[in-house]
Amino acid sequence: METREFGDIELRRVREHVWEIPQEGEMNAPARVLASEALLDHIGDDKTLEQLRNATHLPGITKHAICMPDGHQGYGFPVGGVGATDTTDGCISPGAVGYDINCGVRMMTTNLTYEDLQGHEEELVDALFEAVPSGLGGGGVVKGDAETIEDILARGMQWAVDAGYATDDDLAHCEDEGFRDDARPEFVSQKAKDRGRNQIGSLGSGNHFLEVQRVTDVYREDVAESFGLEADQIVVLIHCGSRGLGHQTCTDYLRRIEKEHKDLLDDLPDKELAAAPAGSELAEEYYGAMCAAINFAWVNRQLIMHRTREVFADVFDRDWRDMEMRLLYDVAHNIAKKEVHEVGVDPEGRPVRDGDAVEREERELYVHRKGATRAFPAGRPELPPAYADVGQPVIIPGSMGAGSYVLRGGDQSLDLTFGSTAHGAGRLMSRTKAKQEYWGETVQDELREQEKIYVKAQSGATVAEEAPGVYKDVDEVVRVSDELGIGDKVARTFPVCNIKG
DNA sequence: ATGTCC
C-alpha cells in the first residue's frame, strides 16, 4: 500500500487524488484528503492534517472528515474542510464554519466583450473604487437603522428586492434563493448588529475583492451555454462576507461554548473546534444566529452588485438591463447547513464507511463547509429551476493575477464530499511573509504593464498580502476537482480590473 | 477574515 508521512500522521493512498487517515483511538471516523501529490506537499506543510484529524473527534461526525485540494490550516478546523455531523446526536461547530460567516462569491455576466471594455479600464476601476465601500471599518452602501438590520437578518435578499436593490431574477440565482428561513435575528447580539449597521454593502479587506474579468476558455460548451457564458465575454466577480457582524457572531458563540459546554470542549483535542451538542439550546441559538449572518452577507454582496450595475451604466452610458447584467450564481463558502444525505449504516444503524455498510439510509446532517463550496449535481432538490438539469454553478476565485474558474456540481460530489468542492487557490505563505516578499505598488505596476490588469486598493499592504505569488496554482486545484468528478470545469476567466480593501 | 486585545 502506498503511504505518505507528515509528522506523526500517515496517509494511505486510496486511489488517484484520494488519501485517507485511518480511524484510530478517539477518532469517530476516518479522514480524507483530496489532493494531487503536488498539492499534498503543500497541505502537509502546516497544521492542516493535524486539524483534519482533530475534526474527526467531533461528536456525530459522519463517514469521514474531508480536506479539499486547496486546504490549509485555519482556526481549529482546516480552511478547505468539510465535516458532516448528525443533527440529532452530533454537534454544530462555529470553528468549523469560520469567523467570516457566509464568506462567498457571486458572478454577474454581461453581454459586453473585452473589446467593448478596452480603453475604459482606468475609468472603470476608478469609478468602481469610488462607488463600492472597501477597507477595514465602517461605511456601506446603505445606512441601516435598527429596524432595517432586523429585516435584513430575517429575510436576506427578500429585503433587497423590497428595497429596490434586487430583482426576482437575482433571487432565483443565489444559493438558498438568497435567504435562510431558519434565521433568528434575536440570537444575534446587539454588538454584532451595531457593527453590521454601518457595513451593509461593503467589501472589507484581506482577500476580498471585486473583479471585472473576461472569459478566456470554455471547457464544456453545452454547460457554458446553459450558464450564459462564452469566450471573450465580460463578467464581474464579487468576493466578500458578513464583515464585523459575522465575525462578532462567531466570537460571541465561541465564548458561550467555553462557558456553557466546557465538558464537550474538554473532550476535544483542540478547544478551537468549539462545538455545541446537537439539540442543546446553544446549538439552536447558534444555528439561528449563523443563518441570520448568512442573510446579511447575501445582502452585502447584492448591494455591491447593485452599485456595480450603476457604475457600468454610467461608464458605458447604457441601462444595465441592456448590458444584460445578470447574476449567474452566488455561492457561500463558509457555512453550515442542515441537509439530507444518504449514508451507509452498519447492522445497528450507525453510520459507517461505504465498504462496511449493510444498507444506506437518509440522514439529516449539519454539513459544515469552511472554505469549501456546495457543488450539487443535477437532480438535487435544492437547485433552482435554471440549473436543475445541468448542476449548480460553482465559482472558484484565483488570485488577482491568475483569474478564476466556473465549474458545475459534479456527479461524484454526493458520494465523496457531501456535495462539495474547493473554494479557491489556497494561500502558500502567511500575510507577514508576503509583506516581506512583495511591495504593493510594484505588484500593481507589474500587473498593469505585463498583464493589462488594473488593480486599485485602499492599502498597498493588502496588495502585497494578496500578490499572485502567495497563492497556490488554482489550475491544479481545479484539475483535481474535475478529475475527481466533484466539480467539473466549465470556463476560465482572466482579470481586467480589480478593486480591494 | 476582523474596529488584528475586554
Separation between the CA of A462 and the C1’ of B4 (whole angstroms): 13
Separation between the CA of A132 and the C1’ of B5 (whole angstroms): 30
pLDDT band at A426 (very low <50, low <70, confident <90, very high): confident
Separation between the CA of A161 and the C1’ of B6 (whole angstroms): 39
Strand B neighbours (CB under 7 Å) are: A 75, 99-100, 103, 136-137, 191, 194-195, 199, 204-208, 240-241, 243-244, 247-248, 466, 501
pLDDT digits (tens, 9 = 90+) for A225-247: 999 999 999 999 999 999 999 99
pLDDT band at A148 (very low <50, low <70, confident <90, very high): very high
Q: What is the mean pLDDT of residues A89-112?
A: 98
Q: In the complex, which nucleotide's C1' lies nearest to the CA atom of residue A500?
A: B1
Of A57, A64, A341, A423, the active-site residue reads A423
A150 membership: H or E segment, kind and range = helix A146-155
Total residue count of chain A as it appears in this document: 501
Q: What is the mean pLDDT of residues A88-115?
A: 98
Q: What is the mean pLDDT of residues A377-402?
A: 97
* Beta carbons of A402 and A471 less than 8 angstroms apart: yes
Q: In the complex, which nucleotide's C1' lies nearest to the CA atom of residue A461?
A: B4
Closest residue (CA) to C1' of nucleotide B1 is: A100
With a cut of 90, say whether residue A183 has pLDDT above it. Answer: yes
- Please tell me the distance from the alpha carbon of residue A89 to that of residue A62, in angstroms, as a whole number: 11
A423: annotated active-site residue: yes
Predicted pLDDT at A427:
87
What is the torsion angle, in degrees rounded to the nearest 10, for the CA atoms of residue A12, residue A13, residue A19 and residue A21? -10
Q: In the complex, which nucleotide's C1' lies nearest to the CA atom of residue A241?
A: B1
Provide, rounded to the nearest whole percent, the portion of chain A with pLDDT above 70: 100
* Beta carbons of A375 and A142 less than 8 angstroms apart: no
- Please tell me the distance from the alpha carbon of residue A480 to that of residue A475, in angstroms, as a whole number: 9
With a cut of 80, say whether residue A499 has pLDDT above it. Answer: yes
Q: Which nucleotides of B are covered by protein (CB under 7 A)?
A: 1-4
Q: In the complex, which nucleotide's C1' lies nearest to the CA atom of residue A334?
A: B1
* Beta carbons of A161 and A179 less than 8 angstroms apart: no
* Beta carbons of A110 and A485 less than 8 angstroms apart: no
* Beta carbons of A474 and A68 less than 8 angstroms apart: no
pLDDT digits (tens, 9 = 90+) for A311-368: 999 999 999 999 999 999 999 999 999 999 999 999 988 888 777 889 999 999 999 9
Question: What is the DSSP track for A273-310?
Answer: G--EETTSHHHHHHHHHHHHHHHHHHHHHHHHHHHHHH
- Please tell me the distance from the alpha carbon of residue A18 to that of residue A436, in angstroms, as a whole number: 35
Question: Which stretches within A228-280 are classed as H helix?
Answer: 243-260, 262-267
With a cut of 90, say whether residue A127 has pLDDT above it. Answer: yes
Predicted pLDDT at A20:
98
Q: What is the mean pLDDT of residues A186-201?
A: 97
pLDDT digits (tens, 9 = 90+) for A259-298: 999 999 999 999 999 999 999 999 999 999 999 999 999 9
Q: What is the mean pLDDT of residues A145-169?
A: 97
A487 membership: H or E segment, kind and range = strand A487-500
Q: Which three cell numbers stand for residue A86?
A: 448528525
- Please tell me the distance from the alpha carbon of residue A392 to that of residue A329, in angstroms, as a whole number: 8
**pTM metric for this prediction:** 0.97
Separation between the CA of A202 and the C1’ of B3 (whole angstroms): 15
pLDDT band at A149 (very low <50, low <70, confident <90, very high): very high
- Please tell me the distance from the alpha carbon of residue A203 to that of residue A224, in angstroms, as a whole number: 28
Predicted pLDDT at A349:
85
